[in-house]
Amino acid sequence: MKIEGEYVFDAPREEVWKVVRDPEVLTTCVPSVQSVSKVNENEFTGEIVLRIGPLSGAFGGRVTVGNEVPPESCTLTVEGTGKIGFLKGVGNVVLVEQDGGKTLMKYSGEAQIGGKVASVGQRLFDSVSKGMIKQGLDKLNDILVKRMAA
Amino acid sequence: MDRKLIGKRVVRNEDPRLLTGHAQFVDDVHLPGMLHAAFLRSEYAHARLLKVDVSKARQHPGVVAVFTAEDMGKDWFPGPPLVSPPPTVKDVVFHSRRQVPLAKDKIRHAGEAIAVVIAESRYIAEDAVEEIEVEYEPLPVVLDLEQALQPDSPLVHDDLESNLAARLSQKKGDYEAARRQADVIVKRRIVIERGAAAAMENRGIVAHWDAQSEHLTIWDTTQAPIPIRNGTAARLGLSEHQVRVIAPFIGGGFGPKIMMFYPEEMVIPWAAKQLNRPVKWIEDRRENFYATTQERGQIHDVEMALSRDGRVLGLKDDFLHDTGAYDPYGLTIPLNTQSHNMGGYDIRNYSSEFKVVFTNRIIATPVRGAGRPHGIFVIERMMDAAARELGMDPIELRKRNLIPPDAFPYEHQIIDQAFAPLILDSGNYKAVVDKALEIIGYEKFIKEEQPRLRREGKYVGIGVVPFIETTGVGPYEGARVTVEASGKVNVTTGIGTQGQGHFTSFAQIVAEQLGVKVSDVRIVTGDTSEFHWGTGTFASRGAVVAGSAVHAAAKSVRQKVLKLASKVLEAPEEELELEDGAVRVADIPQKSISLGELAVLANPLRGAVEPGTEPGLESTSYYGPQYGATAFGTHAMILEVDPQTMMIKIRRYVVAEDCGTVLNPLILEGQIHGGVSMGLGNAYYEKLHVDENGQLLNASFADYLLVSSTEMPRIEVAHLETPSPLNELGAKGVGEAGAIPVPALFAQALENAFYDRKLEVLEMPLSPNRLFELLREAQENEKSV
């Protein structure tokens, strides 16, 4: 399944990059994340509770950051397993400077899901994931705007 | 023959029990101390199984046992081959790879069972399943039939050179010569996808080992209780007399309930014996999508050679058949396809090779139709393509090629699914086609109604599709008929029942012979302690094969009744008649004796039974046909399509059916209605969506569309009877018939509705979305021409 989108942050690229690479901040933004811990600079583990239609369950996962070109781009590899299935994904994140101190984020990736999440939840997975990404990015933007104002 | 009961619309004996909720299904079995099982199933379609850690699950309160493949020790071995490859065909390739009780080392389809938890309740068992930790190494999946046969494809079975499970070719006449003589060659590629059988009742098993009597009782939703009994005894090292398999009332079989052995059928009885406690497992709907067999994946490359005047000179069809992860059911489905590729037509030259392909999907075994709908879809689509090519009326083209009534028995010179010669025993095909045309009013529709409807902006099309159905195959079935002291009759047979009305149609056969009320005949099916021999309910054979055995046993009992009554009433047998539960002298009706009294006299408590006679009014008989009886039918439909939404409405649906002697029109029509609903599902609703990793994406009835009552048309059924010469009843099967022609019919009606838009349907199932795409493609092709 493809995940693709764009988002414009009301903050300069350097600032956006900082929060994107800060798991403490990210944790507070991604909906339903229960915990995140840093394994090393480029690897984080954590737990997230997903609710997809009739299904809900905790996923234990690992996020690895690769191909890092600060503050322009990186690759995120996500792997998670839980009682309602598994998910795997690789995504590219690109930050492009915009006029007026804004930053355009482009993201694109492939996600693979299996188990109950796929067989019962697939029809909803697309909209759930889109919703979660939108919510997360909005929250991240709020944090950035507040930081800028401070 | 003048028949009193056979052929009558007798209401079903079994319905009061079913309608008042008194019929026993497997899940109705409750035993003291019974445990409940839940299976851990693979999330991956193809993976190495690195580690299965069940330690946490074993500690879960209420869990009695957790078993993996390792725990089964020497009792872990694959299921038996159900059907062996045909020995009579030259150069056949067949690699037998059978399903295992629990996966070991490797996973070959999503949903394959890895471990079983047995606990005090199903809730506990399900919770504990989630505590099993599995380490997988995912492997690239094999899904596409053509890619699967490429040399660089990943392998489903590592010990084989390729994913080729089987290859078989059959020839009749000389296709190449026919091709050289032909005026027109029509070539098409036809693709058919998988659907689910989706029986209302999922599978279920209860196993109870009684250690004191050393006896195992199994309640199983199986269509084949006797083979399950025999195989279970063999697996567990027991005598067949130590195992009783009961297939009680079953909420639909449709084929997948005759997959011997399912992993659960191997595991649950074994576990019950290990634990010395009854164990129940009831499949849930999601499991049914993952663990119950499916059908219909095939790709055909077809060529038809015709003369200008519309004679089919030859047909060539090379096809791929998707068998899924294993091939326990042998070649039944592709052989059925091969046998139905020529439909009811007199085609003298035929060449067909099929390749069976292993993929990372659930095993394919017969589902109502079992390869036959594919064969009919292929030949009927080709007929329509050829008619367009020749500029001929599609019905006229068909009529020119139908096997004429004087050509029976018609030998096709190939073998069928039972490895018997494909011989069409009898029929009057043109009369059936004409009947359907007449009822639906074909001429009038084409000439008057369709143009009028089109002027009103309505897209309405007509379809007419004839088809054959090979039915009633061997090897045999048996039955025992007993007149009891009450005057009522008890009948036992080895087959199982999943809604076919056996309790009534068999009772009619017996009542016809013995002159009793249909409701006074008690039928027992699906209990191995009641009848020891038999095979099962499949291939539209129950009424033909078991029905013929019942008929033979009833006739034999009639002879015993007449012989004894002749002595008691002091009248010659020829002057006796059996009426109203008694034997009487035809001319002196007051001189009579009831069947009950005769039964008592036949089983005396004192005195001696005469040498050379048997006690009781009882007889056991068997019937095994040399080859199957072949039914014929024609479906016709008028279909309206909303050109905006592609939603459909079936305005008329006509079935003209010749399945030989009709035993009970009410039951026959019920079978046809059910079949048509499955066929409509296969045409426009039901499709299993699998992603590129082999994950099923619509494993619930929220996403998998079944045809419901609101989509079902009113069906007009007409019967014609050409009795089969192969059995005394003259019966031919009909259980699968309703489903067989529907996809081909639907395709034809769609094309006809869009006659001016060059729509061609070469795939099934369709959906409103897919039809929209096809119409757009047709439009683009039109522009580019």
Beta bridge partners of B527: B246
Query: Is 3.50.50.60 the CATH number for B27-142+197-291?
Result: no
Amino acid at B155: L
Please, which residues have CB within 8 angstroms of residue B677's CB and are 6 or more apart in sequence? B707, B712, B738
What domains are there in chain A, each with its CATH number?
Answer: 2-149 (3.30.530.20)
pLDDT recorded at residue A54:
78
The stretch A87-116 carries a mean pLDDT of 92
Per-residue tokens: B282: 């009831």
Average pLDDT over residues A47-60: 85
SS3 B356: strand
Q: Is residue B678 helix, strand or coil?
A: helix
State the pLDDT at residue B388.
Answer: 96
What element of type H or E holds B432? helix B429-440
Q: Within an 8 Å CB–CB cutoff, is residue A118 touching chain B?
A: yes
Residues in chain A closer than 8 A to B699 (CB atoms): 119-120
Task: Report whether pLDDT(A51) > 90.
Answer: no
Question: Taking Cα atoms as reference points, which of B775, B770, B773, B777 lies closest to residue B753?
Answer: B775
Does residue B785 register a pLDDT over 70? no
Chain B contact for A90, CB < 8 A?
A: no
Q: What is the pLDDT of residues B632-688, one digit of tens each?
A: 999 999 999 999 999 999 999 999 999 999 999 999 999 999 999 999 999 999 999
Helix then strand count (H, E) for chain A reads 4, 7
Please indicate if any CB of chain B lies within 8 Å of the CB of A37: no
Tell me what pLDDT residue A150 has: 78
pLDDT of residue B605: 80
End-to-end Cα, chain B, rounded Å: 62
Residues B390-405 have a mean pLDDT of 97
| A85: nearest CA partner in chain B | B43
Q: Which of B130, B697, B702 sits opposite A118 (nearest CB)?
A: B697
- Distance between CA atoms of B124 and B350, rounded to whole angstroms? 58
Cis omega (within 30 of 0) for bond into B80: no
Query: Per-domain residue ranges for chain B?
Result: 15-22+474-623, 27-142+197-291, 143-195+294-397, 425-471+629-785
Beta-carbon separation of B43 and A83 below 8 A? no
Q: What angle do CA B719, B724, B726 make, to 5 degrees?
A: 160
Per-residue model confidence (pLDDT) at position B491? 98
How far apart (Å, rounded) are the C-alpha atoms in residues B785 and B781? 6
Contacts of B691 in chain A (CB under 8 A): 1, 112, 118, 122
The pLDDT mean for chain B works out to 95
Chain B residues with beta carbon closer than 8 angstroms to that of A115: 43, 695
Please provide the DSSP assignment of B39-96 as one string.
Answer: EEE-SSSSEEEEEEE-HHHHHSTTEEEEEETGGGGGG--PPPPSSPPPTTSTT-EE--
Torsional sign, CA B160, B161, B163, B167: negative
pLDDT of residue A125: 83
Q: Which of A120, A123, A124, A126 to mutate to test the interface with B (most CBs of B within 10 A)?
A: A120
Higher-pLDDT residue of B260 and B529 is B529
Sign of the Cα pseudo-torsion (B434, B436, B439, B440, in order): negative
Tally the residues of chain B.
785
Q: Residue B34 has which token pair?
A: 């019974």
Q: Express each pLDDT in B205-250 by its tens digit.
A: 999 999 999 999 999 999 999 999 999 999 999 999 999 999 999 9
pLDDT score at B732: 95
Across B574-605, b (16+ Cβ under 10 Å) vs e yields eebbbeebbbbbeeeeeebbebbbbbbebbee
Q: Which of B258, B290, B272, B476 is nearest to B370 (CA)?
A: B258
User: What's the rounded mean pLDDT across residues B577-587?
Assistant: 95
DSSP letter assigned to residue B685: I
Instruction: State the DSSP code for A125.
Output: H
CB B643 within 8 A of CB B771: no
Which among B130, B290, B695 is the nearest to A83, CB-wise?
B130
How much helix, strand and coil, in percent to the nearest 5, is found in chain B? 30, 25, 40
Q: Which residues of A touch B703 (CB under 8 A)?
A: 120, 122-123
- Give dist(CA B739, CA B736) in Å, integer: 6
The pLDDT of B458-486, averaged and rounded, is 96
Residue B87: predicted pLDDT: 66
What are phi and psi for residue B463, nearest 5 degrees? -135, 145
Q: Is B626 left (phi over 0), alpha (psi -120 to 50) or beta?
A: alpha
Q: Give the residue from chain B lying closest to A113, CA to CA.
A: B695
Give B782's pLDDT tier (boundaries 50, 70, 90). confident
Q: CA nearest B143: which of B683, B696, B682?
A: B696
- Please judge whether A122 and B110 are an interchain contact, meaning their C-beta atoms are less than 8 angstroms apart: no
B698–A118 C-beta distance less than 8 A? no
Residue A76 sits at the chain B interface (C-beta within 8 Å): no
Pick the residue from chain A with its C-alpha nearest to B127.
A83
The mean pLDDT value for A133-147 works out to 92
pLDDT of residue B784: 78
- CA torsion, points A40, A41, A45, A48, in degrees to nearest 10? 160
CA B696 to chain centre: 24
Dihedral angle, C-alpha B488, B494, B498, B499, nearest 10 °: -30
Alpha carbon distance B124, B63 (integer Å): 7
Q: Which residues of B touch A113 (CB under 8 A)?
A: 695
Q: What is the distance between the alpha carbons of residues B440 and B452, in angstroms, rounded to a whole number?
A: 17
pLDDT digits (tens, 9 = 90+) for B624-638: 998 999 999 999 999
Q: What is the pLDDT of chain A when averaged over all its residues?
A: 88
pLDDT value at B499 more than 70: yes
Q: Coil, strand, or helix at residue B364? A: strand
Band of the pLDDT at B143, cuts 50, 70, 90?
very high
Q: Which CATH class for the B15-22+474-623 domain?
A: alpha beta
For residues B11 and B501, give the distance between their C-alpha atoms in angstroms, rounded to a whole number.
10
Strand partners, B620: B480
Query: Do the beta carbons of residue B481 and residue B489 sit within 8 Å?
Result: yes
CA distance A13 to A105: 9
Q: Could you tell me which residues are beta bridge partners of residue A46?
A: A36, A61
A71: closest CA of chain B, how far (Å): 34
B495 within 8 A of B502, measured Cβ to Cβ: yes
Q: At what angle do helices B547-569 and B502-514 cross, to 10 degrees?
A: 30
DSSP string covering B460-515: EEEEEEEEEEEE--SS-EEEEEEE-TTS-EEEEES---SSS-HHHHHHHHHHHHHT
What is the bridge-based pairing of β-strands B184-192 and B298-306? antiparallel
Three-class DSSP labels, B141-159:
CCCCHHHHCCCCCCCCCCC
Q: Is-same-fold flag (B27-142+197-291; B425-471+629-785)?
A: no
Fold entry, domain B143-195+294-397: Aldehyde Oxidoreductase; domain 4 (3.30.365)
- Give the chain A residue whose CA is nearest to the CA of B289: A119
DSSP letters for A18-85: HHHT-HHHHHHHSTTEEEEEEEETTEEEEEEEEEETTEEEEEEEEEEEEEEETTTEEEEEEEEEETTE
Class (C level, CATH) for B425-471+629-785: alpha beta
Q: Where does the pLDDT of residue B86 fall: very low under 50, low under 70, confident under 90, or very high at 90 and above? A: low
Average of per-residue pLDDT across A9-30: 86
What is residue B177's predicted lDDT score, i.e. its pLDDT?
A: 98
**pLDDT score at B660:** 95
Residue of A nearest to B128 (CA): A83
- For B321-334, what is the mean pLDDT? 96
Please, which pLDDT band fits residue A84 given cuts at 50, 70 and 90?
Answer: confident
Pair B557, B481: CB distance under 8 Å = yes
The vertex-A96 CA angle with A92 and A98, nearest 5°, equals 155
Structure tokens at B457: 């902006």
Amino acid occupying residue B519 = S
pLDDT above 70 (res A147): yes
| Interchain pair A119, B693: CB under 8 A | no
**Residue B339 vs residues B164, B335, B376: alpha-carbon distances, Å:** 21, 6, 10
